[in-house]
A = this chain, B = another copy of it.
Amino acid sequence: MMDFVNKYKQELLQNVLPFWTKNSNDNEFGGYFTCLDREGRVFETDKFMWLQGRQIWTMATMYNEVEQNAEWKAMAIQGAEFILKNGRDAQGDWYFALDRTGKPLVQPYNIFSDCFATMGLSALYKIENKDEYAQVAVDTFNRILERRDNPKGKYNKQFPNTRSLKGFSLPMILSNLALELEHIIDKQTVDRLIDEVMHEVMEVFYQKDTGLIMESVNLDGSFSDTFEGRLVNPGHIIEAMWFMMDLAIRREDGELMNRCIDIAIRALNYGWDNEFEGILYFKDILDKPLLQLEWDQKLWWVHLEALVCMAKGYAYTGRQDCKEWFEKLDNYAFNRFSDPEFGEWYGYLNRQGNPLLTLKGGKWKGCFHVPRALYKVYSTLEQTENALFVR
């Protein structure tokens, strides 16, 4: 597995990060262009807050953990200044999208904008000690916790109390956010949040009969036989499992570690497309027809998060099933998603594994999953010899 360290490091430093440093700075208005075509040309100038926050996180984290490249730091700072100046409404909630110049386009209906803004600012505070970064990150985090029970606010279209489901996305991201913000929020809050979220993910959303985690459940955690309740997003389960594995490391809990790996491998087997390879985007747990017309597509982030998960599983336990899955995923992902000619990875493949869209960035794909995963994979594998919980 040590051969992969150089491969992933090289892909990150030579194929992926240069694509973003070269193409995504808006030197005129600040912030980042994320809508980039195959060759890196800007095809749309709107600025989506998810991706602005995520790119700040990526640039700051690469500077902090990979190498002290001044260009990355400058990019992180310019992105942060842009969102601090333009990104929030009067309540401090983050807009979903701005136009190129920073004028709001789409209201703060989506709390994940806030999650990624706080994640970016708190990572930046690690490398640039400006109080405002920490303060806005903490204030935003507190607003997220306040809004947690009705994250869409007045934009929530559900009629109250007829069918109350809760979604997996928010607890999942909070589990990651708690660790990301550990240096700027108090330990008690972090520990309480981790306890809550670990319970939600591993007990409430986890369904004993299938051994999988659902996207939505009834408030009491029971299965809902509805479109939303039947939905399985294998990539989401697998990504959540590496978040949980980080918590297992933190708690030195080998049983939790192996349980996370078991769930992730179950999700891989369940989501794997035996006909065309790759991991399907969505499935219905009762094999009923789905609402998602994109269900059979192969998405970049799903495969990257699976690589991270299996690299961690192997590094932390030495399990051979993790190694085998890692190699299988690596083979598919590098053959299908990576674009050595123009840099970065394709985001969206059709079921057959060919690009459905040739973009490298868009409304939902930015400078985040590819570099984060490449970095997590190689830095995790470097630690393989110090496996913590060998079975």
Using a CB–CB distance below 8 Å, which chain A residues touch chain B?
Answer: 35, 37, 43-44, 46, 95-96, 99, 103-107, 109, 154-155, 157-159, 162-163, 226-227, 288-291, 293-297, 348, 350-351, 356-359, 362-363
Contacts and interface: CB of A to CB of B under 8 A. Distances in A.
A106 to B, nearest CB: 5
A227 to B, nearest CB: 6
B96 A289 contact: no
22 contacts: A35-B289, A44-B226, A44-B288, A95-B159, A96-B157, A99-B162, A99-B163, A104-B159, A105-B159, A106-B159, A107-B157, A107-B159, A154-B154, A155-B157, A289-B358, A289-B362, A291-B362, A293-B293, A293-B294, A293-B356, A293-B357, A295-B356
Contacts of A107: 157-159
In terms of DSSP, what is the predominant structure of the interface of chain A? loop
A203 to B, nearest CB: 27
Given A157-B107, A162-B103, A43 B297 contact: no
Given A99-B162, A162-B104, A163-B105, A288 B43 contact: yes
Contacts of A163: 99, 105
B290 A357 contact: yes
Top-5 shortest CB links A-B = A289-B359, A293-B294, A104-B159, A43-B288, A289-B357
Nearest to A293: B294
Given A162-B103, A351-B350, A363-B227, A157 B109 contact: yes
Contacts of A296: 350, 356
Nearest to A362: B289
A363 B291 contact: yes
